[in-house]
Amino acid sequence: MSDQPAAGQTVDIASLTFDEALAELQRSVAELEQGGLALERSIELYERGVALHERCAGLLGQAELRVQRLVERAAGELAAVDARTEDGAE
Amino acid sequence: MSRSGPPQNEHLWGDLPIEEPRGDDRSKPPDWALPAWDSLPIEEAAAARLQREAPGGDAAQPRAEASRAEASPTEPAGGFALRILQVSEITRAVRDAVRSDAGLRDVWVEGEVGRVTVSSAGHAYFTLKDERSQLACVFFRDDRLGSPFEPRTGLRVVVHGRIDLFESQGVYQLYVAAIQPAGFGDLALRFEALKAKLAAEGLFESGRKRPLPQRPAVIGVATSATGAVWHDICHVVARRWPLARLILAPCQVQGEGSAASVAAALDRLARWGEMCRAEGRPDDAPAVVILARGGGSLEDLWSFNDERVVRAVVAHPVPVVCGVGHEVDVTLADFAADVRAPTPSAAAEMVVPDRTEVAVVLRELARRAGGHAGRVLGGARAELAAEGRALERLQPSAQLAQARERAGYLLDRATRALRGEIGRRREAEHRLASRLGPVLVAQMGWRRVALERSSAGLAALGPQATLNRGYAIVRRRSDDAIVRDEAEAPAGERLSVRLAKGEVAATVDPESDTKSGAELHAGDLR
């Protein structure tokens, strides 16, 4: 059963942002708690919930702050370039 | 007194038997003697006094006696008398003139502080200058220590005090009573005036304040690229919420042009956000902006009281958190911001959640999901088992479908009730249910009417409802026994699968292990 890709599971969890994963996890839990679900749906929701939780926890633990600097080029064109935290100089 | 022209000077010099004290060449007058005394533009009062004293006699001026003897006018004609003065005399004459001038006794002078030295006694000596002149100032220890403001080189200040002569050096000085930064009163007045004006426009009203996003993915920061503030903000966000991305819009936060620079940085962040949204990547647009600056003097923070900065904050497309200076410093930008933070670091803490707190929320969600999934599956299994037993006893058929549903429900309920009341072990329950089953069937006839009345409600919980939810009832064709165990359906066994609507025939595949797979899975979910 777990080998079969569920029909609703179209979005790859690894590509979700923290907020997206958290929102889906919250929806899954709410649906589970509401009850009256078919067995398959319960299992599907739970499995996906576990994966969503792992995604969120992984992001929380492993994320590294990304720092950019907004630079204005000629003609007022803006660009965000990656910068280092300790990079103090202009 | 009439001013003498050069010819008269020469004439006088020629006639006077001046003795050179150091025996210099007498053929020409010494440098220091030119120009002649009476041509010096000294204070008239002092000159008049000197002239009055001249005939007064040597006894009255013993200290000037020698020189007066030498300088005695040989030609008093025309009322003119040459007098050679002591240094201290002229100094005192200037001093008196200065002291008698009411305009110099109480002065306010604005200028830029030049070199400052503080003596070991604690007095401060400094020069005050403008484009054309310098003024020596002395700030005595007691006044200095009582002053909230110290003279520092380069500052524009307003000094209050009196002009007097320091006789031993022969210099006039400003004796400082108080010193303040230039424009101090001005700034306070301008602050209040602008605040009143902008408040009247409603720019500071609490109704304008926007709530901060819970977990911003991108945070704009307008501050100086150099200095501790930017570093502190990076540090706080990296610790609390490293999932975020910071975008710095560098700006000059003090000095000439800083207000325009800060407003321009806010504008760049606003344009960047609009650009991201227009290009269909709204996730790259800042969800909140921090405007920050470290502590400093009133002038240092002044650009954050500039109308351009205030308007840029108010007009910004996303909420602005203002963290300028220390807790006590309040600028107009603080009033205009959606949230005011006491310091730059506090601003950073306000815009992001703490990941350890979010982790607790996550764990709770996971616990709830696991608990409910476990209960759902456990309940489903118990229900299935009970219905299975009921069906087994009742030998269901198409004709008895309705009665079967009701009976199944009642049996199930009875089983559960008994389980609750007696708390017997599973075997005991099963025995009781076995005995109860036939009794219930026997009673079915006279209960039918009553049952039908409540059947709509009961149906939701009966076997048909369960079948509707996707469960199936599997029986062996050979003896119509319900299959609950893999062992009851060996390979090749022919089965009948009861669905919500109708039945299908099936044969157990020799290689199939789906049932054990499902069992294993349900176990995982506990």
Indicate which of B365, B387, B521 best probes the interface with A, i.e. most A CBs within 10 Å of its own CB. B365
Q: How many residues comprise chain A?
A: 90
The average confidence (pLDDT) of chain A is 77
Q: In this prediction, what percent of chain A has a pLDDT beyond 90?
A: 4
pLDDT on residue B55: 52
Residues of A in contact with B525 (CB under 8 A): 43, 46
d(CA B181, CA B112): 10
- Domains (ranges, CATH) in chain B? 6-85 (no CATH), 102-182 (2.40.50.140), 215-353 (3.40.50.261), 359-466 (no CATH), 472-526 (no CATH)
**Cβ-based neighbour number of residue B390 at 10 Å:** 27
A22 part of contact set with chain B, CB < 8 Å: yes
pLDDT on residue A47: 80
Interface list for B 381-400 with A (CB within 8 A): none
Of A26, A63, A65, the CB nearest to B234: A65
B243 part of contact set with chain A, CB < 8 Å: yes
Angle between helices B44-53 and B87-99 (to 10 degrees): 130
**Using one digit for the tens of pLDDT, what is the confidence trace for B168-216?**
889 999 999 988 887 766 677 788 889 999 999 999 998 889 999 989 9
Residues of B in contact with A4 (CB under 8 A): none
* Residue bearing the bigger pLDDT, A6 or B258: B258
Candidates B316, B324, B318; CA nearest to B346 is B324
Quote the domain boundaries for residue A10. 1-90
B227 part of contact set with chain A, CB < 8 Å: yes
B521 part of contact set with chain A, CB < 8 Å: yes
pLDDT on residue B120: 92
Strands B156-166 and B107-118, by their bridges, are: antiparallel
Residues of A in contact with B364 (CB under 8 A): none
Candidates B183, B134, B135, B137; CA nearest to B157 is B183
A38 part of contact set with chain B, CB < 8 Å: yes
pLDDT on residue B218: 95
Strands B503-507 and B494-498, by their bridges, are: antiparallel
pLDDT on residue B422: 40
What phi, psi does B286 have (nearest 5°)? -60, 135
B249 part of contact set with chain A, CB < 8 Å: yes
The vertex-B175 CA angle with B170 and B177, nearest 5°, equals 175
Q: Cβ-count burial of A55 within 10 angstroms (0-12 exposed, 13-18 middle, 19+ buried)?
A: buried
* Cα–chain center distance at A77: 31
Candidates B420, B332, B353, B429; CA nearest to B390 is B429
A35 part of contact set with chain B, CB < 8 Å: yes
CB contact under 8 A, B365 and A53: yes
pLDDT on residue B348: 95
**Using one digit for the tens of pLDDT, what is the confidence trace for B504-513?**
888 888 764 5
* Look-up of token digits 């100094």: B91
CB contact under 8 A, B368 and A88: no
Which residue in chain B is spatially nearest to A18 when comparing CA positions?
B243
What's the token pair of residue B94?
């200037």
Residues of A in contact with B225 (CB under 8 A): 69, 88-90
Angle between helices B401-422 and B426-459 (to 10 degrees): 130
What's the token pair of residue B430?
């099963």
pLDDT < 50 regions, chain B: 1-21, 23-25, 33-35, 56-73, 75-76, 396, 398-400, 417-433, 435-461, 512, 515-526
What's the token pair of residue A39?
């067995």
pLDDT on residue B250: 95
CB contact under 8 A, A39 and B380: yes
Cα–Cα separations (whole angstroms), residue B75 to B12, B81, B459, B525? 9, 8, 146, 130
pLDDT on residue B390: 64
What's the token pair of residue A46?
């739970």
d(CA B245, CA B238): 9
pLDDT on residue B410: 57
Total count of domains within chain A:
1
